[in-house]
C-alpha cells in the first residue's frame, strides 16, 4: 500500500479519470459490457490463488484489530466464495442491458413523439466495509448500467479488494473499455472517504455499505446524493396462525445461516396466543443452536434465555444473539417494528391471509416477506445477479439495488418541424 502526500490531489485525479471513462461507458454496446464481465469472471477464477493469499493478509489484519467472528466471516474468502463471485459476475453479464430501455412512449396532439428511456447516472462512488466481494458486485453492476465507479473498500479488506479489482480491470481492458471504468482508491487513509463525499463535480451518487457509523457519517457529511444502505434491524413476527414447522425452519435459517449479513433476523415478535406453543419451541430451538435469546416478558421465564434490556430492541447484533418479545397481535407487531425497525426487511409467519395483507399494507420496509427466511434479502436471490446494496431510503432506489436501479432516465422527443403556438 502506497502513502500519498496529497489525498485531495489523488482523489481529484481519480474523479477526473472516472468522469472521462463514464462518457465512453454511457455509449458502450451491450456486447462489449457483456464481454468485459465474462472476462472479469474468468480473470477472478484464474487468479483465485492470489486472491486467497491476499485475503490471508486481510484476515491477519482483522484478527489484530479484534474483529468479531461474524465480521471475520464477512471478510473471509475461500474457493467456494470466489466461485460465488464468479457466478455473480456471469449472472450480471447475462442480464438484459438496462441502458436505452424504453420505459414509456406516447404521442402528443402537437405531433411530438416522446419516449422515456433509461440512461446511466454517470460516476458512482461506493464506500463499503469488510466484505471484499462488494468489489466485484459493485464493479459489475456499475459497468453493466454504463456507469464508472470509484470503490473505496474497508481497511480490513484492502488486499483482497485490490486483487479482485485487478481482475475486474483486466476484463474491462480486454473488452476494449477504459481501465478507469472501475477504480479502487489505493489507500486506507480515511481522508479519502471525506474527499469522496464532497466531489460534486465528478461523483453523481454515493452508495455506502456498512454499519450504522459509516452510513451515518456519509448521510451527515455528503454533499453528493446518497443511496443509504442502513443497518438491518430485521424482525420476524410469529402470528397465532403460524405453521409450526415452517416457522421453525424459517426462524432458524434467518438467524443462524449467516449472522453477519444484513438480512439476519435480529428480533422475534411472538403473538401472545403462540407463546405457550410455537413460541416455546422456537426459543428452545434457538438456544439449542447456540443463540443467546434476549427475552422480554413471559418469554424470559423460558430456561436458558437472557433477560432483555431496552437496548436489545432496535439493535443490529450481527452475531448469534436475538431479541424476543411478546405482542398482543399483528397491530402490536406493526407498532413495534415502526418504532424499532430500520425499514430494511421484516417478515410475518402466518397462514392467515388477512394478517399477511395487513402486515404488508401497514409497514413500509424496503422488503416485506411472508413465510420466507429474511436471508433471502439479497439481490442475487431476487434475480438481479448481484446487488450494490439494499437501499432503505425512499428516493430513487429501494430494496436491492441492481443494474436497473443504477440508472436515471431522459426524454427523447421527436417532431416534424414542430413549433409551439
User: d(Cα 345, Cα 347) in Å, to the nearest integer?
Assistant: 7
User: d(Cα 250, Cα 242) in Å, to the nearest integer?
Assistant: 11
Q: What's the grid cell of residue 340?
A: 424499532
Q: What's the grid cell of residue 328?
A: 398482543
Closest by Cα among 310, 216, 230, 232 to 264: 232
pLDDT tens for the chain, residues 1 to 421: 455 779 999 999 999 999 999 999 999 999 999 999 999 999 999 999 999 999 999 999 999 999 988 889 989 999 999 999 999 999 999 999 999 999 999 999 999 999 999 999 999 999 988 789 999 999 999 999 999 999 999 899 999 999 999 999 999 999 999 999 999 999 999 999 999 999 999 999 999 987 778 888 998 999 999 987 778 999 999 999 999 999 999 999 999 999 988 899 999 999 999 999 999 999 999 999 999 999 999 999 999 999 999 999 999 998 999 999 999 999 999 999 999 999 999 999 999 999 999 999 999 999 999 999 999 998 889 887 678 888 888 777 888 888 999 999 999 999 999 999 9
Q: What's the grid cell of residue 155?
A: 481497511
Domains of the chain with bracketed CATH:
7-229+401-414 (3.40.605.10), 234-381 (3.40.309.10)
Beta bridge partners of 126: 151, 207
In three-state secondary structure terms, 306 is strand
End-to-end CA distance of the chain: 64
User: d(Cα 217, Cα 336) in Å, to the nearest integer?
Assistant: 26
Output the DSSP codes for 60-98.
Answer: HHHHHHT--HHHHHHH---HHHHHHHHHHHHHHHHSPP-
The conformation of residue 375, written as its DSSP 8-state character, comes to G
Q: Are 312 and 323 in contact (CB under 8 A)?
A: yes
User: d(Cα 343, Cα 368) in Å, to the nearest integer?
Assistant: 9
Amino acid at each position: 500500500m502506497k502513502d500519498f502526500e496529497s489525498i485531495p490531489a489523488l482523489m481529484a485525479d481519480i474523479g477526473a479519470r472516472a468522469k472521462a471513462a463514464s462518457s465512453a461507458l454511457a455509449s458502450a454496446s451491450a456486447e462489449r459490457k457483456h464481454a468485459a464481465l465474462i472476462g472479469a469472471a474468468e480473470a477472478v477464477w484464474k487468479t483465485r490463488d492470489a486472491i486467497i493469499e491476499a485475503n490471508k493478509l486481510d484476515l491477519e489484519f482483522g484478527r489484530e484489530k479484534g474483529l468479531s467472528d461474524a465480521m471475520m466471516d464477512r471478510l473471509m474468502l475461500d474457493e467456494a466464495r470466489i466461485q460465488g463471485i464468479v457466478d455473480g459476475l456471469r449472472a450480471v453479464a447475462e442480464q438484459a442491458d438496462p441502458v436505452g430501455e424504453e420505459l414509456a412512449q406516447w404521442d402528443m396532439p402537437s405531433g411530438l413523439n416522446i419516449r422515456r428511456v433509461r440512461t446511466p447516472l454517470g460516476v458512482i462512488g461506493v464506500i463499503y466495509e469488510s466484505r471484499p466481494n462488494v468489489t466485484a458486485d459493485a464493479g459489475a453492476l456499475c459497468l453493466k448500467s454504463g456507469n464508472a465507479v470509484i470503490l473505496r473498500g474497508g481497511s480490513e479488506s484492502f488486499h483482497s479488494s485490490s486483487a479482485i479489482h485487478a481482475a475486474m480491470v483486466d476484463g474491462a481492458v480486454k473488452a476494449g473499455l477504459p481501465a478507469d471504468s472501475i477504480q479502487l482508491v489505493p489507500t486506507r487513509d480515511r481522508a479519502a472517504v471525506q474527499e469522496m463525499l464532497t466531489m460534486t463535480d465528478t461523483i453523481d451518487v454515493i452508495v455506502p455499505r456498512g454499519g450504522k457509523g459509516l452510513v451515518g457519517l456519509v448521510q451527515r457529511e455528503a454533499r453528493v446524493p446518497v443511496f443509504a444502505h442502513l443497518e438491518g434491524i430485521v424482525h420476524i413476527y410469529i402470528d397465532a396462525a403460524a405453521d409450526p414447522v415452517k416457522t421453525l425452519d424459517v426462524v432458524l435459517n434467518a438467524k443462524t445461516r449467516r449472522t453477519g449479513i444484513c438480512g439476519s433476523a435480529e428480533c422475534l415478535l411472538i403473538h401472545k396466543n403462540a407463546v405457550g406453543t410455537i413460541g416455546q419451541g422456537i426459543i428452545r430451538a434457538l438456544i439449542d443452536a447456540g443463540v443467546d435469546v434476549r427475552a422480554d416478558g413471559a418469554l424470559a421465564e423460558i430456561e436458558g434465555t437472557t433477560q432483555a434490556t431496552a437496548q436489545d430492541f432496535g439493535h443490529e447484533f450481527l452475531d448469534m444473539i436475538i431479541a424476543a418479545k411478546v405482542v398482543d397481535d399483528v397491530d402490536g407487531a406493526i407498532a413495534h417494528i415502526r418504532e424499532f425497525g430500520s425499514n430494511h426487511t421484516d417478515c410475518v409467519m402466518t397462514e392467515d391471509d388477512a394478517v399477511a395483507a395487513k402486515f404488508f399494507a401497514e409497514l413500509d420496509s424496503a422488503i416485506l416477506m411472508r413465510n420466507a427466511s429474511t436471508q433471502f434479502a439479497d439481490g442475487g436471490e431476487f434475480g438481479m445477479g448481484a446487488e450494490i446494496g439494499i437501499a432503505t431510503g425512499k428516493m430513487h432506489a429501494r430494496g436491492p439495488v441492481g443494474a436497473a436501479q443504477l440508472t436515471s432516465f431522459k426524454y427523447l422527443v421527436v417532431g416534424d418541424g414542430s413549433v409551439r403556438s
